[in-house]
């Protein structure tokens, strides 16, 4: 479009509506397609057996126990969804200032990974690396003198990742935004013989209010209180900084890079894809999902339709794939 010629066409010889007239012609003209293969299903797990409870701020989303997740994963995979990403609601009594539960081989995430891999071994399982589900203060790392310290946190994150890989996780996805964590994780994984484990970096992750419903769902909002994450997550004012983040992560060994949130950051998705030509992902975060679905519940717009349109928007912006809470419903719609 940069060199779009001025003499390209002129009304009335050119009528762009001709191509839009029929369903078949619209299909032929479509420049982008969304398929279930583009989706990573983000899910919440809770303790127990046979458990399932709605997340109030996310209509249509549930927290489920590992056994229920395994059954749902089977269905998701059969709908064509390649992978899911697991997020735990840790019981408050298991939270500590240093988030040691992250290193427990029997923690909820590890249970969920094992259950899914047992039920559907061919499905990809993504695990988030960050301490916020496990810390009593809700920050993603260790707090020393009211500051989230970098290098000490990275050491624990490496141990967290090894714990998740031991449970069978295929993709390690650090969402913590510490400096140098991709390189450290790659080194730790390789040293332990896990050179085949993929790294999906939350490369450009912004300090966003759109994470609100997620923090409710995993129970970290009560821990975090009035705290925020602006000393490590990115300033929404910045674009060039996102490119620097992505460049560093590629140098350090990221296999895939992610931009998060999605809809308010489509310019970043486009610029990252065009600059680096990397496998590029975007996270349609909890708040984006919640606002579309809530407006749908109020009858102010067609919630499901809005979700589908936003997912296609991510493809148009250049994303190769999308992490979304709506993956299963979207896949059903796409499969007709
Ligand atoms: C944890 C993490 C968060 C999300 C994914 N991983 C929350 C945060 O950074 O506070 C948010 C996802 C969402 O809002 O859907 N570091």
Dump pLDDT digits (tens) for 175-198. 999 999 999 999 999 999 999 999
Residue 285 CA to ligand 1 centre (angstroms)? 8
| 140 CA: nearest ligand 1 atom | 16
Q: For 251-264, what is the mean pLDDT?
A: 98
Question: Which two structure tokens, joined as six digits, stand for 134?
Answer: 């496990």
Q: For 142-155, what is the mean pLDDT?
A: 97
Whether 264 and 242 have beta carbons less than 8 Å apart is answered as: no
Centroid of chain to Cα 262: 9
Catalytic residue (choose from 229, 260, 273, 315): 260
Residues 65, 108: Cα–Cα separation, whole Å: 9
On the question of pLDDT at 115 being above 90, the answer is yes
Prior bond of 58 cis (ω within 30°): no
Residue 23 CA to ligand 1 centre (angstroms)? 39
Active site residue 260: yes
pLDDT tens, position by position, 203-236:
999 999 999 999 999 988 877 877 899 999 999 9
Strands 143-144 and 147-148: antiparallel
Whether 39 and 81 have beta carbons less than 8 Å apart is answered as: yes
Ligand 1 mutation target, pool 130, 231, 232, most atoms within 8 A of CB: 130
Active site residue 205: yes
pLDDT at 227: 81
Residues 83, 22: Cα–Cα separation, whole Å: 35
Q: 38-334: which CATH architecture?
A: Alpha-Beta Barrel (3.20)
State if residue 86 touches ligand 1 by the CB under 6 angstroms criterion. Answer: no
pLDDT tens, position by position, 277-315:
999 999 999 999 999 999 999 999 999 999 999 999 999
Q: Which of 312, 328, 287, 310 is nearest to 55 (CA)?
A: 287
Instruction: Decide: pTM greater than 0.85.
Output: yes
Q: Could you say which DSSP state residue 168 is in?
A: T
Cβ atoms < 10 Å from Cβ of 175: 20
Centroid of chain to Cα 111: 20
Question: Which two structure tokens, joined as six digits, stand for 328?
Answer: 């299963």
Q: Is 90 left (phi over 0), alpha (psi -120 to 50) or beta?
A: beta
């Amino acid at each position: 479009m940069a060199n779009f010629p001025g003499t390209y066409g002129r009304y009335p010889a050119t009528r762009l509506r001709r191509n839009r007239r029929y369903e078949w012609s619209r299909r032929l003209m479509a420049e982008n397609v969304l398929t279930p293969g583009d989706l990573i299903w983000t899910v919440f797990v809770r303790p127990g057996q046979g458990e399932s409870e709605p997340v109030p701020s996310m209509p249509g989303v549930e927290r489920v126990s590992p056994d229920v997740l395994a059954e749902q994963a089977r269905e998701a995979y059969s709908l064509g969804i390649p992978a899911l990403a697991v997020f735990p609601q840790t019981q408050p009594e298991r939270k500590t200032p240093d988030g040691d539960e992250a290193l427990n081989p029997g923690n909820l995430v590890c249970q969920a990974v094992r259950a899914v891999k047992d039920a559907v071994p061919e499905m990809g399982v993504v695990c988030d690396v960050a301490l916020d589900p496990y810390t009593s203060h809700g920050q993603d790392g260790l707090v020393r003198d009211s500051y989230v310290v970098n290098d000490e946190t990275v050491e624990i994150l490496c141990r967290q990742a090894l714990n998740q890989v031991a449970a069978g996780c295929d993709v390690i996805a650090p969402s913590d935004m510490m400096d140098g964590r991709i390189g450290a994780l790659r080194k730790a994984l390789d040293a332990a013989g896990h050179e085949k484990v993929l790294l999906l970096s939350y490369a450009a992750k912004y300090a966003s209010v759109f994470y609100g419903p997620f923090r409710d769902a995993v129970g970290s909002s009560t821990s975090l209180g009035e705290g925020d994450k602006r000393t490590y997550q990115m300033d929404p004012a910045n674009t060039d900084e996102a490119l620097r983040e992505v460049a560093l992560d590629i140098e350090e060994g990221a296999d895939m890079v992610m931009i998060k949130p999605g809809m308010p950051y489509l310019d970043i998705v486009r610029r990252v894809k065009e600059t680096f030509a990397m496998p590029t992902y975007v996270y349609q975060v909890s708040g984006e999902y919640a606002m579309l679905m809530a407006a749908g519940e109020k009858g102010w717009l067609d919630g499901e339709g809005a979700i589908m349109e936003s997912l296609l928007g991510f493809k148009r912006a250049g994303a190769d794939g999308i992490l979304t809470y709506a993956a299963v419903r979207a896949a059903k719609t796409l499969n007709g």
